[in-house]
Amino acid sequence: MVKITDVARHAGVSPSTVSYVLSGKRSISEETRRRVRASIRELGYRPHAGARALASSRSNVVALMLPLRSGVAVPVVMGFATSVVTAARRHDHDVLLLTQEEGEDGLRRVADSALVDALIVMDVQLRDPRLPLLRSLDRPSVLIGFPADAGDLTCIDLDFHAAGAACARHLAALGHREVAMIGSPPEVYERETGFAQRVTEGFAAAVREHGMTGGVHPCEASADAAKDLVGRLLAERPGLTGILVHNEPIVDPVVRALRAEGRRVPQDVSIVAICPDELAEHADPPLSSVAIPAEEVGGRAVELLMAKLDGEPVPAATLLPPTLTPRASTAPR
Amino acid sequence: MVKITDVARHAGVSPSTVSYVLSGKRSISEETRRRVRASIRELGYRPHAGARALASSRSNVVALMLPLRSGVAVPVVMGFATSVVTAARRHDHDVLLLTQEEGEDGLRRVADSALVDALIVMDVQLRDPRLPLLRSLDRPSVLIGFPADAGDLTCIDLDFHAAGAACARHLAALGHREVAMIGSPPEVYERETGFAQRVTEGFAAAVREHGMTGGVHPCEASADAAKDLVGRLLAERPGLTGILVHNEPIVDPVVRALRAEGRRVPQDVSIVAICPDELAEHADPPLSSVAIPAEEVGGRAVELLMAKLDGEPVPAATLLPPTLTPRASTAPR
DNA sequence: CTGAAAGCGCTAACAT
DNA sequence: ATGTTAGCGCTTTCAG
């Protein structure tokens, strides 16, 4: 194994000079830098990560804890993970993968053993048991999602309130007056991640603001429940022409239920969804939708983390503005 | 930070004794072990990962390189990743996540810097540029998938030949005599991962063996191409009653095309697919299928790696037997 | 069964 | 602008 002393000897300098050439932490003459760089290349030198971590108390690794639980869309998680890795590499960091299953112990383990310098935690619940732990760690962290009481923890996520509002506004702009939102199962609004609640609020506020009528209807994630609900909605509100669906598994069933009731999409009823792009694109018809910008969330989360590692102040909350992509499921009334 | 000397002092022993209690590399009296363990717990001691790696030249971290490219099913990749992490933890190892994008340089970087002890590489191509590199590294690795020339590299994957055969056998057992396989796009058979080729061979062999008739038809991954091909097949072979589809994106389109031609599934034509369970379950009707056992592949890959790290010999090739799950898309002729 | 002590390879004062 | 050197915290001979 090639070590720093080998490089130093080969370049005719001291080990510290090699170290400084690498870190750029002090000025080096052009000539010396050139020689050292050449030696490094020639010998194929790679600093030993462990030695470096020991001496500098920086591992240049960040932990990323991902959820397994169904309920979180797999493509979203993957997109998020890859963008975190890519962004981390831009800052010369690597990513250690943890599963939600490891929980607080896992986070404590990698933090206390100095395996990682910082942590990113995805799928944060409203009352997440990991929060007190993260607060107690001496290492910076970023949460994806907003817990009930974030305190001074750094959080980032799609602005779900704005997403709900954007969907209502989209329907309003198309001339719809009577709308409805088909939401997540009731229990999701009670515990879980809180974003569901925010969508309903944003939707309701925008409905009011644009002088439309319509409320929010939680719905179990089964095709039968969707069919029932759609039937009921149509019966009770004959003038209904626009629906926001925020309940991934029943996006398709809702459309099918409408057709079964003799309504065409989008000619008779327009549908907007908050769901992964993949789902929206492959639906029949392709759905106008707001997607979770997984790539951007991941990238930004890393930027926040790096700023914190550098001791820079960062905003406690970052809300990413939603983007509504119009597709074939919405039309003017 | 609590260090080993703190624990040693607290327990009234030497640092090396603490180390040996932790590693179990030499016998310790019951009494001493008890005291040391108590001190460790009481002080909340965690060995510094970097220091440990430096002293022992073992980081207890394995690299996992995952593909981003579309074409590899996202849920399969995720299932694989989580099973690798879970299995690695059972062996007291952590997992460093790399993206395919990082390529050979990424692998070299983490290996040469001693960041990782071993590597798992997914989505291995027939002629993969990473193979020579992996061979040249002084660290053990396991490949998911079989390249054209594996040499003595350790590989593991579903036995795709057996999978193709199992599907043909399933149709034969149901009494089908005229069958066909709708395969991947032609270019997949030329380069790429080689497994596509193996499916066709297994299918063809079993068709012959069971005295059935039927060939393999590559197909572009578009609904139109699927429709064309189904139309042609039905026209040319009026007696056709069984189809194996090995082309994820067009599984649904094939079923729809059959219906458009007036054939019911499974009453008129039986369909078997080689695709992720998720897709098969949600199809209409749910598809009899062989899935890639992502969980098992991940777990076994880690076991192989750990064996290699321990200097134990392992088989160069591991082929996991396929499991065909009968669902609603196949019926007796 | 346990201790003492020599590094592992690198960084960061401290010098000059 | 560069060199010298004292650790970083742990494992592992070497001794007993």
DSSP codes, B155-205? EEEE-HHHHHHHHHHHHHHTT--BEEEE---HHHHHSTTSHHHHHHHHHHH
Residues B104, B107, B112, B113: is their CA dihedral positive or negative? positive
Instruction: Work out the minimum CA distance from A49 to partner chain B, whole angstroms.
Output: 5
Instruction: Work out the minimum CA distance from B21 to partner chain A, whole angstroms.
Output: 17
Q: Is any atom of strand D within 7 angstroms of residue B109's beta carbon?
A: no
Go through chain A and tell me how many residues it has: 333
pLDDT reading at B104 higher than 70: yes
Residue B84, classified by CB atoms within 10 Å of its CB into exposed (0-12), middle (13-18) or buried (19+), is: buried
Spacing of A45 CA from D2 C1' in Å:
21
Question: Longest Cα pair distance anywhere in chain B, in angstroms?
Answer: 86
Task: Please check whether residue B203 is in contact with residue B180, taking contact to mean a CB–CB distance below 8 angstroms.
Answer: no
- Rounded mean pLDDT of chain B? 95
Task: Please check whether residue A287 is in contact with residue A251, taking contact to mean a CB–CB distance below 8 angstroms.
Answer: yes
- Residue numbers of A between 162 and 181 with CB closer than 8 Å to B: none
Q: What is the pLDDT of residue A193?
A: 63
Q: What is the pLDDT of residue B13?
A: 97
Nearest-angstrom CA–CA distance, B251 and B241:
16
Q: What is the pLDDT of residue A187?
A: 82
Task: Please check whether residue A121 is in contact with residue A130, taking contact to mean a CB–CB distance below 8 angstroms.
Answer: yes
Contact yes or no for A96 and B98 at CB 8 A: no
Q: Measured between beta carbons, which residues in chain B are less than 8 angstroms from residue A51?
A: 50, 54
Strands of the sheet containing B317-320, edge to edge, are: A317-320, A154-158, A141-144, A118-121, A61-66, A94-99, B94-99, B61-66, B118-121, B141-144, B154-158, B317-320
A151-180 mean pLDDT:
97
Type of residue at A274: I
Contact yes or no for A112 and B46 at CB 8 A: yes
Looking at residue A139, the DSSP 8-state letter turns out to be S
Nucleotide nearest to A23 (CA to C1'): C11
pLDDT reading at A70 higher than 80: no
Q: Is any atom of strand C within 7 angstroms of residue B13's beta carbon?
A: yes
Q: What is the pLDDT of residue A71?
A: 64
Task: Please check whether residue A99 is in contact with residue A64, taking contact to mean a CB–CB distance below 8 angstroms.
Answer: no
Confidence of residue B68 (pLDDT cuts 50, 70, 90): confident
A284 touches chain B (CB under 8 A): no
Looking at residue A191, the DSSP 8-state letter turns out to be S
A318: left (phi over 0), alpha (psi -120 to 50) or beta: beta
Q: What is the pLDDT of residue B191?
A: 62
Tokens describing residue B62: 């394995």
pLDDT reading at A192 higher than 70: no
pLDDT reading at B85 higher than 90: yes
Task: Please check whether residue B119 is in contact with residue B264, taking contact to mean a CB–CB distance below 8 angstroms.
Answer: no
Angle between the N-to-C axes of helices B49-56 and A49-56, in degrees from 0 to 180, rounded to the nearest 10: 140
pLDDT reading at A29 higher than 90: yes
B116-136 mean pLDDT:
95
Task: Please check whether residue B243 is in contact with residue B182, taking contact to mean a CB–CB distance below 8 angstroms.
Answer: yes
Nearest-angstrom CA–CA distance, B196 and B188:
7
Cα first-last separation, chain A: 71
pLDDT digits (tens, 9 = 90+) for B266-284: 999 999 999 999 889 988 8
Q: Measured between beta carbons, which residues in chain B are less than 8 angstroms from residue A48?
A: 54, 113-114
Strands A270-274 and A288-290, how do they pair?
parallel
A81-119 in b/e burial notation, b at 16+ Cβ within 10 A? bbbbbbbbbeeebbbbbbbbebeeebbbbbbbbbbbbbb
Which carries the bigger pLDDT value, residue B87 or residue A149?
B87
Looking at residue A50, the DSSP 8-state letter turns out to be H
Task: Please check whether residue A170 is in contact with residue A326, taking contact to mean a CB–CB distance below 8 angstroms.
Answer: yes
Q: What is the pLDDT of residue B230?
A: 97
Residue B109 has its nearest CB partner, among A46, A52, A95, at A46
Q: Measured between beta carbons, which residues in chain A are less than 8 angstroms from residue B89?
A: 102
**Strand locations in B226-269 (E):** 242-245
Cα first-last separation, chain B: 71
Residue nearest to nucleotide C7 (CA to C1'): B55
Nucleotide nearest to A30 (CA to C1'): D1
Task: Please check whether residue A313 is in contact with residue A283, taking contact to mean a CB–CB distance below 8 angstroms.
Answer: no
**Strand locations in chain A (E):** 61-66, 94-99, 118-121, 141-144, 154-158, 179-182, 216-217, 242-245, 270-274, 288-290, 317-320, 324-325
Confidence of residue B126 (pLDDT cuts 50, 70, 90): confident
For tokens 């310098």, the residue is: A117
Go through chain B and tell me how many residues it has: 333
Spacing of B17 CA from C2 C1' in Å:
7
A244-277 in b/e burial notation, b at 16+ Cβ within 10 A? bbbbbbbbbbbbbbbeeeebebbebbbbbbbbbb
Contact yes or no for A50 and B51 at CB 8 A: yes
Confidence of residue B193 (pLDDT cuts 50, 70, 90): low
A46 touches chain B (CB under 8 A): yes
Nearest-angstrom CA–CA distance, B1 and A114:
10
Instruction: Work out the minimum CA distance from A309 to partner chain B, whole angstroms.
Output: 19
For tokens 């309504």, the residue is: A263
Alpha helices in B113-159 (DSSP H): 130-136
pLDDT reading at B70 higher than 80: no
Nearest-angstrom CA–CA distance, A64 and A85:
9
Confidence of residue A18 (pLDDT cuts 50, 70, 90): very high
E strand or H helix that includes residue A209: helix A195-209
E strand or H helix that includes residue B82: helix B74-90
Tokens describing residue A26: 């002090």
Residue nearest to nucleotide D13 (CA to C1'): B16
Residues 6+ apart with CB under 8 A from B190: none
pLDDT reading at B102 higher than 70: yes
SS3 content of chain B, % helix, strand, coil (to 5): 50, 15, 35
Task: Please check whether residue B265 is in contact with residue B258, taking contact to mean a CB–CB distance below 8 angstroms.
Answer: yes
pLDDT reading at A69 higher than 90: no
Residue in B162, B228, B231, B225 with CA at minimum distance from that of residue B198: B162
Nearest-angstrom CA–CA distance, B206 and B202:
6
Confidence of residue A93 (pLDDT cuts 50, 70, 90): very high
Residue A61: closest CA among chain B residues belongs to which residue?
B96
Spacing of B115 CA from C5 C1' in Å:
27
The model's pTM: 0.94
Q: What nucleotides of chain D have any atom within 7 angstroms of a protein Cβ? A: 1-5, 7-13
Instruction: Work out the minimum CA distance from A212 to partner chain B, whole angstroms.
Output: 36
For tokens 């939401």, the residue is: A183
Residue in B91, B136, B92, B161 with CA at minimum distance from that of residue B317: B161
Tokens describing residue A110: 């990698």
Q: What is the pLDDT of residue A189?
A: 80
